[in-house]
Amino acid sequence: MSLPVLVINPNSNDEVTASIDRALDPLRSNDAPPIRCITLKDGPFGIESQRDADVAAVCVGAAVEEQVDNAAAIVIACYSDPGLGAAREITSKPVFGIAETGLATAIMLGGRVGVVSILKKSVDRHWSYARALGLDRRIVADLPVNLSVAELADEASVASKMLDVGRRLRDDHNANVIVLGCAGMARYRERMEAELEISVIDPTQAAVAAALSALRLEYRGERRTNGS
């Protein structure tokens, strides 16, 4: 049997992993590699700061080293892409970060991209990373819902806040594709898309889809110059 796409949730919150796992069901097929989601026991419970992301990066590096022989491709399921660079140094199998892949997927759809962030302080990190990726000119706005990752679990009230941000992205900033700026927002995709009538991208779904395509088409991982 073929090796799975390994989806690493870099935080230690099993509920988030379970919700990610459910959201990936549409991508499962008898005719494709399996998809396996894991929680990093040593990761921070939520990734709400640069420091959390730094800790997560190290945990991801360790997990990739440990698990890479049992995976055909790897997805890092946190919108800060922690450990992405390290993972690509460790293995030449394809590794996908959900921020990088989510934004690229939105661009493929022709979009003026709007991003939904959890916290105001995430917004700065997002812009800095988008500049590093050279993709910032395609993002029309990045707006926070101002919820902690914990609060995201309270679906009823969260949904209306996210819809509100989605409407502002669409109507005030002319976004025509929305990227959810957190792996924990997966469960809200369907609702938002139904209400807003524009594509809403769960970046974990996008990255797993990209990983499955990469396996079919036998893309290599990025070639990191090594030795020198």
Of 6-14, 34-42, 123-131, 158-166, which part binds a second copy (CB under 8 A)? 123-131
DSSP strand pairing (73-76 vs 5-9): parallel
Rg (alpha carbons) of the chain, rounded to whole number: 16
Buried b / exposed e over 172-209, threshold 16 CB at 10 Å, is eeebbbbbbbbbbbbbbbebbbeebebbbbbbbbbbbb
> Given CA atoms 51, 52, 54, 55 in this order, what sign does their dihedral have?
positive
Q: Taking CB under 8 A as the criterion, which residues in 2-21 touch a second copy?
A: none
How many residues of this chain bind a second copy (CB under 8 A)? 80
Binding of a second copy at residue 61 (CB under 8 A)? yes
Question: How far apart are CB 46 and a second copy at their closest, in Å?
Answer: 14
Question: How far apart are CB 31 and a second copy at their closest, in Å?
Answer: 4
Binding of a second copy at residue 195 (CB under 8 A)? no
Of 1-9, 10-18, 90-98, 158-166, which part binds a second copy (CB under 8 A)? 90-98
For tokens 């293995």, the residue is 91
Nearer to a second copy, 135 or 153 (CB): 135
Residue 199: beta bridge partners? 177
Binding of a second copy at residue 109 (CB under 8 A)? yes
